[in-house]
Amino acid sequence: MRQAKAKNSRVLLIDTDSQAHATLVTTGRNDYGTDDSLYTVLMADRQTASQTFANCIVPSTWDDDLHVLPGSPLLEQAERELQGTAGAPYRIADPLAKIAPHYAAVVIDTRPSFSLMTEMGLIAATDAIIPIEPRYLETVGLLSVITKINEIREGWRIPNLRVSGILVTKMDKRVKGHHHLLKEIKSHPMLGKLLIGIIPMNEAVSYAHRSHRSIFAYDPEATASQAYAQVIGRLVRQGGR
């Protein structure tokens, strides 16, 4: 955010995936549980959920301005317990409403498949960005993913929710199939307009994850760093920050 010259560079990451990979790479830990994770927030009394939310936010190893609400394997248990509970889909959106004004951006990381947890994340969001690898099955499912997001917007009456971008990751220019699928996306009348960036295959990303550092800190000259910086800059300009 600072590289994109945003006025406010504070970012909150909410990890809604029970695998908690985003939590691990940004905090160096994957042992958050009943008392210090998103699970804690979801299970809290709704009257005190915002304070519980604030208490569970932890610093990141990436940057002082990046804060994290950790994920946990317990999120699968939370989904089972909350199924059929009145107001369950708003268990993230409601407490987040009091926390979000303190940040320039809130990033909600969701699992690839749709579930109650994914629905919670989308209801709390305004912009959905769909990352995909340039592989056949992933690109084939793009339109159905967009349709599902639109159904959630209409079904829950969330007018601010929109699909604002498709981000192609792990693009390998040596693979002809990658070029072919990227060409198909670009030429599609709807998908082409949603394409916001192409992140090249780059080992520096894996090494940065292993060291629990951002790609910008690990290797600012890497091709992936430059590509991600362009995407962030574009999103900041679109957001008017």
Average pLDDT over residues 103-120: 94
Nearest C-alpha neighbor of 165 from the set 187, 192, 184, 139: 192
Alpha-carbon gap, residue 64 to 192, rounded angstroms: 36
Give the C-alpha distances (Å, rounded to integers) separating 102 from 9, 33, 51, 85.
10, 25, 14, 29
Question: Where residue 84 falls among pLDDT bands split at 50, 70, 90?
Answer: confident
Question: How far apart are alpha carbons 213 and 62 in whole angstroms?
Answer: 5
Q: Give the pLDDT of residue 54.
A: 98
Structure tokens at 187: 């030429």
- What distance lies between CA 226 and its chain's CA centroid? 19
pLDDT higher than threshold 60 for residue 66: yes
pLDDT in tens, 11-23: 999 999 999 999 9
Given a cut of 80, is residue 240 above it in pLDDT? Answer: no
Per-residue pLDDT, 1: 60
Rounded (to 5) percent helix, strand, coil in the chain: 45, 15, 35
Confidence tier at 5 by pLDDT (50, 70, 90): low
Residue from 13, 34, 35 nearest 24 by CA? 13
Residues 229, 230, 232, 237, CA torsion sign:
positive
Is residue 8 pLDDT above 90, yes or no?
Answer: no
Instruction: Answer whether residue 215 shows pLDDT above 70.
Output: yes
Q: What's residue 136's pLDDT?
A: 85
Q: Give mean pLDDT, residues 101-120.
A: 94
Fold exhibited by the domain 1-124:
Rossmann fold (3.40.50)
Q: Where are the domains of the chain?
A: 1-124
**Is the per-residue pLDDT at 241 higher than 90?**
no
- pLDDT by residue (tens digit) across 114-127? 999 999 999 999 99
